[in-house]
Amino acid sequence: MKKTLLLTSALVSSIALGSVANAEVKGSMKFGYAASDGASNDATAAGTQGFMRETQIDMSTSGELDNGMTFTAGASFEAEAGSIDDDEGTFIEFSSGDTSVLFGVDKFTNLDDSATPTTGSALQTVADVAGDVSYSRNPSSPYGSFGVGIAQKTAIGTISALYVPQQNDTGGTSSDHKATNIEGGQAYELKFKGNAGIEGLNIVAGINARDKETDGNLILKDGKGHVYGASYNFGSIAAGFSMNEDENQSGTTTENTEYGVTFAASDKVSIGVGILKHETTASTSDEDTKLLTVGYNLGPIALELNYVDVENHGANANKDISGASINTSVKF
């Protein structure tokens, strides 16, 4: 009996190790240098400069089930700004034909998205070179909480729906879980992304709704947001826009709009310009950002050169900041 148990244990260990070995491990590393000047309305404020880094590792495995369906499962690890992000994705997805169902956090298609063409990084990421801007392309999407999503591919694009039973519950720490009886807190999101049957066209559109939580102490409102945008690729030139509005649960409303044009000078070099506008009911000043980006594709390594000019940074009147950065991105 003892030998049988040992053999069985060895077999189980072998299966477990084999499963790990077959998992696909993908990742990326981003690092670069950035510098910005001080705020124009504050003579004592100095500019900032220094190195930036981001590490992202994605692990996944996939296969076919006995019933003919397929599955994909994975998790991610991210470290940036000197800290580890414990809200990164963990998921399992089941697919049958053009229909997929996903359970997990952070890996489902969501409204933190844009139709605006870029030379590489998202325009919001580029703008943050001058300090964290108020502009955001994300209308409080609940994708960062555990939930269930269903997506259906069609001839004109993908239609998806996401349901989250409790906002801000990532399962990462005990603070995510409620110590008192909470009513509400659920959220849902509907989205379409595709070309509507027109080659060269890219459309992103969707809405979300977030229920307030009530336990006698929290003072929140129901929240809702929407996103819409479109771009068209004319060949070497692409142009487009994206807009979102977010009625926050704190009671403020924000509107964010971005425009972008890119030009592919060659199969290696792309040049882009962008404009970001942030408006909020919490301020009478609008934040306006202008960007110039150059992307150079070196195969496994991508190089980005960026310049940013921000007026009314943080929606503060006359607080103007500009900055520049050089970034590299390596994937493996």
pLDDT above 90 coverage of the chain, percent = 54
What pTM did the predictor assign?
A: 0.85
Predicted confidence (pLDDT) at residue 86 exceeds the cutoff of 60: yes
pLDDT of residue 141: 95
- Span 237-260, mean pLDDT? 95
pLDDT of residue 216: 54
pLDDT of residue 288: 96
Q: What is the mean pLDDT of the chain?
A: 86
Q: Looking at per-residue confidence, does 241 or 11 come out higher? A: 241
- Span 256-266, mean pLDDT? 97
- Span 262-281, mean pLDDT? 96
Pull the structure tokens for residue 36. Answer: 């910005």
- Span 191-218, mean pLDDT? 88
Contact assessment for residue 72 and residue 92, using Cβ atoms and an 8 Å cutoff: yes
Domain limits of the chain? Answer: 25-331
pLDDT above 70 coverage of the chain, percent = 84
- pLDDT band at residue 25 under the 50/70/90 scheme: confident
What is the per-residue pLDDT across 291-326, written as a single tens digit (0 to 9) for each? 999 999 998 899 999 999 999 988 888 888 889 999
**25-331 — its CATH code?**
2.40.160.10
Predicted confidence (pLDDT) at residue 220 exceeds the cutoff of 90: no
- Span 153-167, mean pLDDT? 95
Predicted confidence (pLDDT) at residue 172 exceeds the cutoff of 60: yes
